[in-house]
Amino acid sequence: MKARVIAFYLPQFYPIPENDKVWGPGFTEWTNVAKARPVFHGHYQPRIPADLGFYDLRLPETREQQAQLAREAGIEGFCYWHYWMGNGKRLLQRPFDEVLDSGKPDFPFCLAWANHDWKTGTWVNKGGNQMICEQKYPGDDDYIAHFNYVLKAFKDHRYMTVDGKPLFLIFDPYHFKDITNFIHLWRDLAKESGLKGIYFVAMCSATTTVKRNEDGTLSRVVPNLDSASEVYESFIKLGFDGINPMGKNRAEMVYQGKYCRIIRRALQKKFSFLPPLKYDYPKVMKHFYMPEDQWNNVFPTLFPQWDRTPRAGKHEGIYVNATPQNFEEHIRGALQIIRNKPEDKKILFLRSWNEWGEGNYVEPDSLYGHGFLDAIKNEIKAE
């Protein structure tokens, strides 16, 4: 086996009351995707879906088609973004609940807890940053209720495991002060429920300007472009079993210059008249992985393309030359990173399956068709 490719899956392709209230009836991820416009000559916007169209995830046929496309490409399963906001409040749960209850598609999955505030700034780059739904951590009673909600998923035969334990990712381990207690509690509950435990994975940036202190507070640090060991080890000390790093920040800093990137991004956000910031995908991706990504408990990220203009305007940086051919080269580099790891830890997290609003997807589109899926198939399934 070359790799266990697990694709992050966004469920925000159907209307929910929380979005209707803020954005108007019928808002989904497609709303911003469809109204995006080019910001430079040759810029591929709006991005138009091909085979699946502007789908609605309330339709089981769509979910079956997605699983079939992923299966044919050599993707092992989906990692569904899971929104538990505290006090039993959930968001965007319908697609996964229906997958779980119906048994269809019969395609492996795991969960990643998207434990962050929902604010309007996620979808627009102006007009303030209104709170839609706050992420809360009320304490043990809520942690137990949360565990009981996901237990059915953990016991499903489709749920993906590492070391025989259900794989559970946490998006923001930095701002969850009580995270070590949460991890210990869930591990105990898992064993009481007949599971071997839970394999907790911290999602983080390989190079960061933030450090978590022992008391749970955060402080600013100078980013280290040469080693990620301090970052990764800090999460292992909190109780995590594994790490899923994102090398985007590091790669951009090496490509553009550490301080130049930080300053340019700040200026880009402040002065809308500046030309869009572009990153040359193949040149940036040469710097995406860190030496520590070869550790057995580190599961690197596959990164096909990036263009958040539908959500954030032009200030965040647009990846140009992000073609299926260049993505295939990126996959080859990732396979070298994991080649000596144990079989069940040869994991590559694909970010993402369907983040259309961030230009970060592999689903078929009108420009490249199945190109990104074929790139995965060519490298993962080819002998």
The predicted pLDDT at position 273 comes to: 79
Give the mean model confidence (pLDDT) for residues 1-22.
96
* pLDDT higher than 90, residue 258: no
- For residue 301, pLDDT over 80 is answered with yes
Q: For residue 165, what is the enclosing H or E element?
A: strand 165-170
Lowest mean pLDDT among 219-228, 239-248, 280-289: 219-228
Residue 276 clears pLDDT 90, i.e. is over it: no
**Calpha distance 146→139 (Å, rounded):** 11
pLDDT digits (tens, 9 = 90+) for 303-353: 999 999 998 877 788 999 999 999 999 999 999 999 999 999 999 999 999
Number of domains in the chain: 1
| Residue 262, H or E segment | helix 258-270
* Rg (alpha carbons) of the chain, rounded to whole number: 20
Helix (H, G, I), strand (E, B) or coil at 251: helix
Identify the residue with better confidence: 304 or 215. Answer: 304
Helix (H) or strand (E) holding 355: strand 354-355
Residue 153 maps to which CATH number? 3.20.20.80
pLDDT score of 129: 81
pLDDT for residue 160: 98
**How far is 6 from 345, CA to CA, in rounded Å?**
12
Give the range among 48-52, 147-151, 163-167, 314-318 with minimum mean pLDDT: 314-318
Q: Is the model's pLDDT at 269 over the cut of 80?
A: no
Mean pLDDT of all residues in the chain?
A: 95
Summarize the confidence of residues 351-364 as an average pLDDT: 98
- Binned at pLDDT 50, 70 and 90, residue 213 comes out as confident
pLDDT tens column, 75-111: 999 999 999 999 999 999 999 999 999 999 999 999 9
Q: What residue type is assigned to position 327 of the chain?
A: F
- Backbone φ, ψ for residue 124 (5° rounding): -135, 160
Domain that holds residue 197: 4-380
State mean pLDDT over 28-46.
95
